């Protein structure tokens, strides 16, 4: 059984959205062995830092917080779609090439996974692509960018997916993962009242349940 850790490493100086300094995680040592019998550290970070799951409250004022997303929907079969030939937005036409099924969870592998620095022209899910996935009744979609959309007035991709009860996962690292079917375990930090939560996401090859 092969396992892929498709999570970003949380570290100071990592790739963050639009290179905003305010989004950089800060890791500090609270106490060390020179003054105490043990070492303790503290992390100050944005809940959208690195690999994370968004909840509807991120874009919808009346949307649910992280506690509205059952963990059961983040553990189970998923499919990695190879979209590394796409430049710009992933459209309906790009997605129609695949067998998108109701209730499925789809991870979009793009050129983003091959870049370590933030790219302001990252590949994203276009509005009509989001509308297509929503119409198919999928359970969730993940992408290897720190945002599932860019430069779209009003954030229609997010809103279309949230209104269709589609889970959104961002910041995946899929460079080493071949296209195909996997068993996914995505575990967001157990935050209750926030609009997102950092997550560790693992894909298992050849696991069936």
Which of the residues 48, 52, 58, 158 is marked catalytic? 58
CA pair distance 188, 191, nearest whole angstrom: 8
What the block records as the tokens of 33 is: 């062995």
CA pair distance 150, 87, nearest whole angstrom: 13
Using DSSP's 3-state secondary structure scheme, residue 151 falls into coil
Q: Which helix (H) or strand (E) holds 44?
A: strand 40-44
How far, CA to CA in Å, does 196 sit from each of 83, 99, 101? 25, 29, 26
Q: Which helix (H) or strand (E) holds 95?
A: helix 92-95
Any catalytic annotation for residue 155?
no
Q: Give backbone dihedrals phi and psi of 28, rounded to 5 degrees, phi first.
A: -130, 155
- Tokens 């999928």 found at: 138
User: Annotated active-site positions, please?
Assistant: 58
């Amino acid at each position: 059984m092969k396992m892929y850790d498709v999570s970003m490493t949380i570290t100071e100086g990592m790739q963050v959205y639009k290179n905003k300094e305010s989004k950089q995680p800060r890791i500090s040592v609270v106490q060390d062995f020179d003054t105490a019998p043990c070492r303790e550290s503290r992390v100050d970070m944005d809940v959208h830092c690195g690999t994370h799951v968004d909840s509807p409250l991120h874009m919808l004022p009346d949307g649910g917080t992280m506690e509205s997303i059952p963990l059961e929907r983040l553990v189970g079969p998923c499919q990695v779609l190879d979209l590394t030939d796409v430049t710009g937005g992933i459209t309906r036409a790009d997605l129609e090439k695949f067998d998108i099924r109701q209730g499925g969870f789809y991870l979009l592998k793009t050129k983003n996974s091959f870049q370590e620095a933030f790219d302001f022209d990252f590949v994203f899910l276009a509005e009509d692509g989001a509308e297509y996935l929503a119409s198919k009744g999928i359970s969730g979609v993940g992408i290897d960018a720190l945002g599932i959309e860019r430069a779209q007035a009003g954030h229609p991709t997010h809103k279309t997916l949230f209104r269709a009860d589609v889970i959104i996962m961002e910041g995946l690292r899929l460079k080493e993962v071949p296209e195909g079917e996997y068993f996914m375990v995505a575990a967001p930090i157990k935050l209750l009242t926030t609009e997102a939560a950092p997550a560790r996401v693992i894909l298992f090859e050849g696991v069936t349940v």
